[in-house]
C-alpha cells in the first residue's frame, strides 16, 4: 500500500466550522471509485510516537496537546476545540506522511491523503495545524534512513511558516514555499526559498515562477527525498486562496513537480494540504488528480 489515510479519525467540530472534514473520506472514495486503485493500495498509518514528535516539537507543547491543557488562545489559533480525537487524528495524519515517505524510499512515491500541516511551529500550532507532519517525517527519516538532504516543496497557497521556522538555519532540510503574498499567514517566516505571488495570479505566471524555483530548490538542496505539499487552494474557486489557477493549471503544476522529481530519480512523499473550494467536490477533484498524476508518472517507468 502507498496511500495512507486518517479520515476514520474524525474530530468533532461544530456544524458551521469551515474546516472541510468530509473532504478526506470523499477523496478516498473518489480514488477507489475511479478504478485506478484497489483497496490494497490504501492503509491506515501508525500514530507517530512522542519520541518522533519531540524531534520537532518541544516537550512542553506536546504535553499540553496530549494532556488537554492548551490555553483558550492556543486552541483558537489552531482553530479546533481540543478533544482526544484531535490528538489522535494529528498523530495519525503525521504518521501518514511518515509512512508515505518510507514508501517513497522503496517505491519512488507515497501519499498521505491528508496532512500538509505546515503552520505548526516547534512550540505552537495555528491554522488547523497541530503537529508539523512534513517536519516529523523528515526528522524520522534522517534518523532511520540516514538521509542528510531533504527538500520540502510547499505549493499550498499559504506560506509554510511553521516548516520554515522549524528548519531555519538547518542545512539538512531545504524549505521552498510558493504562496500568496497577501494571504495568511500575514506575518511570514523566511524559507530557504520563498516565491510570493500577487492576488489573482493565473496559471501561466504561476507555472513560470514555479519552474525556475523548482530548479533552484533541487540545485541548492541536492535532495535525496522530497516532501511535496500539493495544496488545492491556489484554485480560482477556493474560498481562502486569492489566486486564479484553473484545474488544468493545477494539473500542470503537479506534472511539473512530480515529473521533475521523477526525471531526477528523487523519491517523493505527497501530502494534500489545503483545499477549501466553494464546492468541496472541486477540491476533491484537484487532490485526486494529484494522486493519479503521481501514479501515472512514477509507475510508468
The window from 35-43, 79-87, 251-259, 266-274 that contacts Zn ion (CB under 5 A) reads 266-274
How many residues in the shown chain lie near Zn ion by CB under 5 A? Answer: 5
Q: Which is catalytic among the residues 57, 119, 158, 287?
A: 119
Q: Examine residue 274 and tell whether it contacts Zn ion (CB under 5 A).
A: yes
DSSP 185: P
Residues 140/98, Cβ–Cβ less than 8 Å: yes
Neighbours of 77 (CB within 10 A): 15
Q: Examine residue 23 and tell whether it contacts Zn ion (CB under 5 A).
A: no
Closer residue to Zn ion in complex, CB, 107/239: 239
Q: Examine residue 126 and tell whether it contacts Zn ion (CB under 5 A).
A: no
Closer residue to Zn ion in complex, CB, 125/231: 231
Cα separation, 260 vs 281, in Å, equals: 28
Helix (H, G, I), strand (E, B) or coil at 272: coil
Length of the chain: 301
Question: What mask, x for binding Zn ion by CB under 5 A, covers residues 150 to 189?
Answer: ------x-x-------------------------------
Look-up: residue for cell 476514520? Answer: 8
Q: Examine residue 238 and tell whether it contacts Zn ion (CB under 5 A).
A: no
Residue with nearest beta carbon to Zn ion: 274
Closer residue to Zn ion in complex, CB, 110/116: 116
Shortest distance in whole angstroms from residue 177 CB to Zn ion: 11
Q: Is 198 exposed, middle or buried (0-12, 13-18, 19+ CB in 10 A)?
A: exposed
Shortest distance in whole angstroms from residue 31 CB to Zn ion: 21
Q: Is 119 a catalytic residue?
A: yes
Choose among 256, 189, 163: nearest CA to 218. 256
List of residues 6+ apart from 83 with CB closer than 8 A: 11, 12
Shortest distance in whole angstroms from residue 274 CB to Zn ion: 3
Q: Are strands 150-154 and 173-180 parallel, antiparallel or unpaired?
A: parallel
Q: Is 214 exposed, middle or buried (0-12, 13-18, 19+ CB in 10 A)?
A: buried
Q: Examine residue 233 and tell whether it contacts Zn ion (CB under 5 A).
A: yes
Shortest distance in whole angstroms from residue 249 CB to Zn ion: 16
The window from 169-177, 222-230, 274-282, 291-299 that contacts Zn ion (CB under 5 A) reads 274-282
Q: Which residues bind Zn ion (CB under 5 A)?
A: 156, 158, 231, 233, 274
Give catalytic residues, as residue numbers: 119
Amino acid at each position: 500500500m502507498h496511500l495512507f489515510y486518517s479520515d476514520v479519525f474524525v474530530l468533532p467540530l461544530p456544524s458551521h466550522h469551515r474546516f472541510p472534514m468530509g473532504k478526506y473520506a470523499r477523496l478516498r472514495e473518489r480514488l477507489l471509485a475511479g478504478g485506478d486503485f484497489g483497496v490494497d493500495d490504501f492503509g491506515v498509518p501508525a500514530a507517530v510516537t512522542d519520541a518522533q514528535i519531540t524531534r520537532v516539537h518541544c516537550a512542553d507543547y506536546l504535553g499540553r496537546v496530549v494532556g488537554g491543557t492548551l490555553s483558550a488562545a492556543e486552541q483558537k489559533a489552531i482553530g479546533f476545540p481540543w478533544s482526544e480525537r484531535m490528538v489522535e487524528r494529528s498523530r495519525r495524519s503525521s504518521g501518514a506522511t511518515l509512512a508515505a515517505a518510507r514508501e517513497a524510499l522503496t517505491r519512488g512515491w507515497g501519499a498521505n491523503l491528508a496532512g500538509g500541516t505546515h503552520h505548526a511551529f516547534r512550540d505552537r500550532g495555528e491554522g488547523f495545524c497541530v503537529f508539523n507532519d512534513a517536519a516529523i517525517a523528515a526528522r524520522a527519516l534522517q534518523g532511520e534512513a540516514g538521509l542528510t538532504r531533504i527538500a520540502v516543496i510547499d505549493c499550498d497557497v499559504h506560506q509554510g511558516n511553521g516548516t520554515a521556522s522549524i528548519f531555519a538555519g538547518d542545512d539538512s532540510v531545504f524549505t521552498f514555499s510558493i504562496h500568496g503574498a497577501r494571504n495568511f499567514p500575514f506575518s511570514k517566516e523566511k524559507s530557504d526559498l520563498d516565491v510570493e505571488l500577487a492576488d489573482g495570479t493565473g496559471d501561466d505566471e504561476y507555472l513560470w515562477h514555479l519552474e525556475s524555483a523548482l530548479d533552484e530548490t533541487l540545485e541548492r538542496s541536492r535532495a535525496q527525498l522530497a516532501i511535496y505539499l500539493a495544496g488545492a487552494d491556489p484554485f480560482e474557486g477556493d474560498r481562502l486562496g486569492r489566486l486564479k489557477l484553473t484545474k488544468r493549471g493545477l494539473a500542470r503544476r503537479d506534472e511539473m513537480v512530480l515529473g521533475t522529481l521523477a526525471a531526477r530519480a528523487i523519491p517523493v512523499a505527497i501530502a494534500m494540504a489545503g483545499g477549501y473550494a466553494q464546492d468541496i467536490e472541486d477540491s476533491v477533484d484537484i487532490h485526486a488528480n494529484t494522486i493519479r498524476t503521481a501514479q501515472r508518472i512514477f509507475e510508468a517507468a
